[in-house]
Amino acid sequence: MKPLRNEIVVKQQAKKNKTDAGIILPDETIIAENVGIVLAIGKTADEVAVDDKVLFGPGYVTQVIDGKEVLFMKEENILCLL
């Protein structure tokens, strides 16, 4: 997969189903963190690299490709490298 321009493909970090205190959450209350690993970058994306762990903000599109859920976003949606 090769994104165009400054598009980035991110695999979102797994959703937590347990709180830090050990309480198991039902599926409908699980909140995904806006953290993920960069899988692919477009030609003009120059501040992130493949395999970077990133924190991202709103403005992404969720797609299922080859059975995997991935997020497409512009480089501007990346808030910081972790």
Domain ranges of the chain: 7-81
Please choose, from the candidates 11, 82, 69, the residue with its C-alpha nearest in 3D space to the C-alpha of residue 40.
Answer: 11
The predicted model scores a pTM of 0.81
User: At 34, phi and psi to the nearest 5?
Assistant: -90, 55
Residue type, 10: V
CATH of 7-81, one of 3.20.20.70, 1.10.3720.10, 2.30.40.10, 2.30.33.40: 2.30.33.40
pLDDT greater at residue 42 or residue 33: 42
Q: Residues 20-30: pLDDT tens digits? A: 888 887 777 66
